[in-house]
Amino acid sequence: MQTLTEEIKHELESQNEEFRSLLRDHHDHEKRLAELASKTFLSTDEEIEEKRLKKHKLHLKDRMEEIVREHRARVSAH
């Protein structure tokens, strides 16, 4: 059974281009971070990339949550 938040995210994924784009980028970052995490040793450039990806991934998540909150507020206002 999905939670209300999961239902909203699913709805937004199908109806909101910005949300869909953010979600796609978030998944891409997760995939790349998993690749980096599987390495025994990271080069300096890879360490910098990892930090940048983590920061950007967090920013993406924050924006997606903001969109969910805005959607929830609009729905409950009706």
Task: Report domain extents, the chain.
Answer: 4-77
Helix, coil or strand: residue 76: helix
Q: For residue 64, which amino acid is it?
A: M
Binned at pLDDT 50, 70 and 90, residue 3 comes out as confident
CA distance 67 to 74: 11
Closest CA to 20 of 76, 62, 70, 67: 67
* pLDDT digits 0-9 by tens, 5-63: 889 999 999 999 999 999 999 999 999 999 999 999 999 999 999 999 999 999 999 99
Q: What is the reported pTM? A: 0.86
CA distance 60 to 41: 27
Residue 4 has pLDDT above 80, yes or no: no
DSSP letter assigned to residue 38: T
Contact 67, 19 (CB under 8 A): yes
